[in-house]
Amino acid sequence: MDRYVVTGNPIAHSQSPFIHQAFADQTGQQISYERLLLPLDGFAQGIADFVQQGGLGCNVTVPFKTDALAVADELSERARLAEAVNTLKVMSDGRLFADNTDGAGLVMDLKRLGVPLTDKRILLLGAGGAARGVMGPLLAEQPAMLVVTNRTRARADELASRFASLGTVSRQPLDALQGSFDLIINSTSASLQGERLTLPASLCHSGTHVYDMMYGQEETPFMCWAAEQGVSHRYDGLGMLVGQAAESFYLWRGVRPNMAPVLQALRTRLEQAQ
């Protein structure tokens, strides 16, 4: 049985085994997929052991996405730009190929939801690893403008400069945001921590879509803010989770699974766990 894992610390909460087993059942692939808890200082050794034991691929989550970059022998262009890795593939010669499928997963989900991207004004909240992972794929959709904002201005400046060659990128300070946007994406961890970002109502217009990369049983604080502004198009990040997994599965197995039934099954699973 071909062996795959998801690794992080913590990792017990991960839904990846459910998602990938559903993909395998759907596509007739024979795989084993498990969670692998590694110590904070033991990522490189843990991955070396996994490869030695015949493992073929690994999903990587917090806090190891930059550790995965360091152990890779070969990087995809999107991993190089993001400076973070969420997928490792063991090549036939034992070397590690690294990719970042987060941005592809986000764009896949936005398209599934019917959210227009081309020639639209997009605001990206946050400038951390999650933001770096999605900038390239978002700019590939040729928006009219992608504005980055962050509490730490220097990080937003660095991110905007890094991706400026791929499209129209600008930055604004979080405490002085101006203009209205067609799509607002929250990549910060505020929702995970139950925090509400202080944002002006003027960011939204009647057709604005909002997307939070985080998800939970109820609407996130960011989605609640959008609801208070009258935004009806509000989405959480569960579809992005399934989308990035689908992209990883395709990289490993050469088969592209159908996201929709797996996403529905996962949402039902989470609702029943309440």
Q: Which residues are annotated as catalytic?
A: 65
- 150 assigned ligand-binding residue: yes
- 15 assigned ligand-binding residue: yes
Longest CA span, the chain: 55
Looking from the CA of 158 toward its CB, the CA atoms found within 13 Å total 14
- 250 assigned ligand-binding residue: no
- 61 assigned ligand-binding residue: yes
- 4 assigned ligand-binding residue: no
- 78 assigned ligand-binding residue: no
- 244 assigned ligand-binding residue: yes
- 48 assigned ligand-binding residue: no
- 135 assigned ligand-binding residue: no
- 130 assigned ligand-binding residue: yes
Q: How far apart are the C-alpha atoms of 102 and 216, rounded to whole Å?
A: 18
Pull the structure tokens for residue 154. 């220097």
- 68 assigned ligand-binding residue: no
Which residues define the annotated binding site for NADP(+)? Answer: 77, 126-130, 150-155, 213, 237
Which residues define the annotated binding site for shikimate? Answer: 14-16, 61, 86, 102, 215, 244
